[in-house]
Amino acid sequence: MCPLYKKKDRREIANYRPITLLNSDYKIYTKVLAMRLAEVRQPRRMVYLSP
């Protein structure tokens, strides 16, 4: 969780709201995983297509 400033005095904790960055982490993780799977899948496709 990260505090995100809302309004008024930055020195008061009540002027911040918590946010989570899990959604961003998940998006990065799935993108990297998809890219790695694509690298593995491509060479096998070429072998599969040859009769």
- Domain for residue 14, yes or no? no
- Domain for residue 13, yes or no? no
The boundaries of the domain holding residue 50 are 21-51
- Domain for residue 48, yes or no? yes
- With CA atoms as reference, report the closest residue to 1 among 13, 18, 17, 23: 18
- How remote is the C-alpha of 28 from its chain's centroid? 3
pLDDT-derived band at 38, boundaries 50, 70, 90? confident
**Helix, strand or coil for residue 47?**
helix
- Domain for residue 27, yes or no? yes
- Domain for residue 8, yes or no? no
For the ranges 1-5, 14-18, 35-39, the one whose mean pLDDT is highest: 14-18
Return the pLDDT at 41.
73
- Domain for residue 39, yes or no? yes
> Model pTM?
0.41
Return the pLDDT at 19.
85
